[in-house]
Structure 1
Amino acid sequence: MSQLPAEIFKAYDIRGIVDKSLTADVVRRIGHALGSLAAEQGQSAIAVGRDGRLSGPELAGALMDGICAAGIDAIDVGCVPTPVTYFAAYELGCNSCVSVTGSHNPPDYNGLKMVIAGTTLALDAIQNLKRRAESGDLKHGQGKRRSADVGTAYIDKIVGDVKLARPMKIVMDCGNGVAGAIAPELFKRLGCEIVPLFCEVDGNFPNHHPDPSKPENLEDVIRALRETDAEIGIAFDGDGDRLGVVTKDGEIIYPDRQLMLFAADVLSRVPGGQIIYDVKCTRLLAPLIKQHGGVPLMWNTGHALVKAKLKETGAPLAGEMSGHTFFKERWYGFDDGLYTGARLLEILARAADANPLLKNLPNSPSTPELNIKMAEGEPFALIDKLKAEGKFEGAEEMITIDGLRVEYADGFGLARPSNTTPVVVLRFEADNDAALGRIQAAFRQAITAAWPGIQLPF
């Protein structure tokens, strides 16, 4: 069997440029390997959903052909948000699913997020899939292809679970991503009046990129909040598994601060519960979790890795700085931007005005994610040198579970190698601007000593 392009097999999913590294033939071969893995694990069917990208129908069709070639049935759940595909694995009882999605990548990308027998494939499991497809270690059979509509069941399930104490008027920006196929109806049924922005599913993404983690993509929400009497704004990424939140006066409430609100709420019903968050999150989160009787657990970045830890610990809630939030309490434990938005409004609707609740969440000066672009393999080498040789005077703790997070009495600095692109991700936070500058200077000195001539973004 011929080799598959190595660069599409990422840490948490498969992703590539359509008709270049990611062709219908490549996806069919991956489908055959996935079906073979599912068969080995006693599965009989895999649910397949796709986002709104123009390449979705062809690639989803090729994937299902491959799955069926392994003797496993393929259940086509259509053009739906990724969390609806995850939901289908539970609702249809098949425990396995694949979402054909490019998430927040440019329009010419697509990819696969994969769950087999209840486990999200990541790291070695994804590399093993590649080896299996290339070596021809495959099962053969004639699986059947059928369709199922789970969108209504998904909306019914959330509406049965989440109750708003009062009606709310909200701005909703779907960024022409697939969330637009379901989110407006869901939130109307929850009792919201919606000011819709770009809720028509369009794989060309003609208005702005569907990535609410970037402030420039929330400018339309901020404008609509200014021009209407809507109370708050929410935005979804391209496949609907991440949420952005904006206050009436245009302040972006980043996901680690959203998690504070969710943690306090969940811990009121799950006393002593463990709350998982990734290394990029604010240092103000752990004290708040403890204050509400919970146990904070810092963990690796990456939706698949957080999901695995959630499953292992039985924690009721987890979240990432990138906007993936995972509710196990009352939900299934997968990342779901639509459900997260519903839970947010449930909390906010208890107050006469949502905005003070959001504005009063603990906050301190911080940077957004900063990236150092390097050659393939270099980010890991740089972080290894920093761990071995970096001098950080006055540091209280060096956390090395995922890159290097240096904790000071008045702030932290983080440098970690991305698992998806050849960059080092940096983030800084401190009690005040002077401390922030001091911590950045310490990192600047350590990084340039470890890698002379490097170009830094701060």
Structure 2
Amino acid sequence: MTFDLESIPHEIFKAYDIRGVVDQALTEELTFQIGQAVGSEVIAAGGNSIVIGRDGRLSGPKLASALAAGVQASGVNVVDIGLAPSPVVYYSSYALSIPSCIAITGSHNPPEYNGLKMVIDGTTLSAERIQGLKHRILEQNYSCGSGKYQQQAIIDDYITRIVGDVKPARPLKIAIDCGNGVAGATAPRLFRDIGCEVIDIFSDVDGTFPNHHPDPSRLENLQDLITVVRDHSADLGLAFDGDGDRLGVVSSKGEVIWPDRQMILFAREILHRQRGSEIIYDVKCSRNLPAEIRKAGGKATMWRTGHSFIKTKLRESGAALAGEMSGHLFFKERWYGFDDGVYAGARLIELLAGQDQSPQAVFDALPNSINTPELRMEFDEGEHHKFMQRFLASAEFAAAEVSTIDGLRADYPDGFGLVRASNTTPILVLRFEGDTPQALAAIQNDFAAAIHKVDPQAILPF
């Protein structure tokens, strides 16, 4: 393949992964080069093989072919598991004892996008190591060889592994919405196999996403599921994102149970078995979560948003569970510590089926505060980071406990406010919570004043 080094689009090498518009930024030629760079990293780590799999996007097969060819050119063997959710790719690393893998996925981006989530020698690549791949390409610093290629079916093994471990005490009636993402290849069958009565919608894998966008963190994408749950009197509904690594949950009343409330249930259950365990949550989560973790006898640790950051922290700390507001849930207890929306859904079914109360009653009993969804301030490319730096330098929140591990989070006695720069798109993400409407408004007023101190003309999303 001919390749112009001058044409490399630097912006696709992001904080958590490589991602861009196919045939414009992410071409087959560049994907081949990325394969060579990743293969060279595998060799440098002492490995000789890598697992690759892909989601249901239309560009997946050609990018998988280019990636495999590049990896093989570095002298690394490729085990191709074909169409599979990202968590199944990660699972394959453990099942096949191959500690490096790549999931070809655009996650919840529009259909014209695709990307690569990479694990080398058991470690999810950090922003620094992703930049290292780019530098390998620019320097053409590759290992050379002729790796082998083989295909391997793994989904049956994955489902069997979960069905053998997750044992609901009674059958529940559930609705599931795969959003035409690749979770459709596993979720309907898995939930039936663990004994659920399943009403599934949009389970056909279709990379054009003809019904709605596969992003369960956005309320508008859960409306079809809410309708089905109500129409069929289901106990609850589960939704999955485009590559199956995130979970959305709705109750029988059609209320969204956001991930920080899901995590309260999971934390209580795990801490009942493993008292004293550490639970990690990201900066966007409710104050109720760490309070409930401590109440159940656990150690609560707040960390940076981003699946690679959370996964690395989980591995370093030995925590039993980690989770993000976006719906990434990482179970180390009874599982492998990677983010898996379908497995998390199965664990939720098991947990709820073991209660004397109905799932709705369990959800209703969860602590709740008045909070906003994720709010967004849009900027030109790169400008949001500059704004964030100025905000950090000038903001004063004397009445709050301030954390700057990821943007700025101010925890008050009666709520919190957060501003952070997204690592994937040029936006600032904001979230607010208060014990009362008055507390929420007061915290938002503090943040409005701090934002306008940086830019008096800033248009606020609240």
TM tier, smaller = over 0.9
TM (normalized to structure 1)? 0.99
2:213 maps to 1:209: yes
2:124 maps to 1:120: yes
2:400 maps to 1:387: no
Query: Any idea what the Cα deviations from partners look like across 1:260-313, whole Å, max 9, x if unmatched?
Result: 000001111111000000000000111100110000000000000000000000
What residue ranges of structure 2 are gaps of 5+ in the alignment?
none
TM (normalized to structure 2)? 0.98
2:140 maps to 1:136: yes
The whole-number CA distance in structure 1 between the counterparts of 2:170 and 2:446 is 49
- Counterpart of 1:37, as a letter, is E
The whole-number CA distance in structure 1 between the counterparts of 2:227 and 2:247 is 18
2:116 maps to 1:91: no
1:274-353 maps to which residues of 2 (within 5 A)?
Answer: 274-352=278-356, 353=358
Q: 2:246 aligns with which of 236, 242, 262?
A: 242
Query: Any idea what the Cα deviations from partners look like across 1:344-403, whole Å, max 9, x if unmatched?
Result: 0000001252111112111100011111111233222222222221133422x1111110
- Counterpart of 2:384, as a letter, is P
The whole-number CA distance in structure 1 between the counterparts of 2:345 and 2:230 is 21
The whole-number CA distance in structure 1 between the counterparts of 2:19 and 2:334 is 31
Q: 1:423 aligns with which of 421, 427, 437?
A: 427
1:359 corresponding residue in structure 2: 364
SS for the counterpart of 1:326 is: strand
2:5 corresponding residue in structure 1: 2
1:253 corresponding residue in structure 2: 257
Instruction: Measure how far apart 1:248 and its partner are.
Output: 0.5
Q: 2:272 aligns with which of 268, 271, 276?
A: 268
The whole-number CA distance in structure 1 between the counterparts of 2:200 and 2:381 is 41
Q: 1:178 aligns with which of 175, 182, 194?
A: 182
2:109 maps to 1:105: yes
1:73 corresponding residue in structure 2: 77
SS for the counterpart of 1:172 is: strand
The whole-number CA distance in structure 1 between the counterparts of 2:208 and 2:428 is 29
1:37 corresponding residue in structure 2: 41
1:373 corresponding residue in structure 2: 378
1:225-240 maps to which residues of 2 (within 5 A)?
Answer: 225-240=229-244
- Counterpart of 2:206, as a letter, is D
Instruction: Measure how far apart 1:413 and its partner are.
Output: 0.4
1:411 corresponding residue in structure 2: 415
Q: 1:163 aligns with which of 167, 174, 184?
A: 167
Q: CA RMSD in A?
A: 0.9
- Percent identical pairs in the alignment equals 55
The whole-number CA distance in structure 2 between the counterparts of 1:378 and 1:36 is 34
Q: Which runs of 4+ in 1 moved over 4 A?
A: none
- Counterpart of 1:355, as a letter, is Q
SS for the counterpart of 2:102 is: strand
- Counterpart of 2:364, as a letter, is K
The whole-number CA distance in structure 2 between the counterparts of 1:447 and 1:209 is 31
User: How many residues are paired up?
Assistant: 457
2:450 maps to 1:449: no
The whole-number CA distance in structure 2 between the counterparts of 1:405 and 1:220 is 34
SS for the counterpart of 1:202 is: coil
2:27 corresponding residue in structure 1: 23
The whole-number CA distance in structure 2 between the counterparts of 1:193 and 1:283 is 35
- Counterpart of 2:428, as a letter, is V
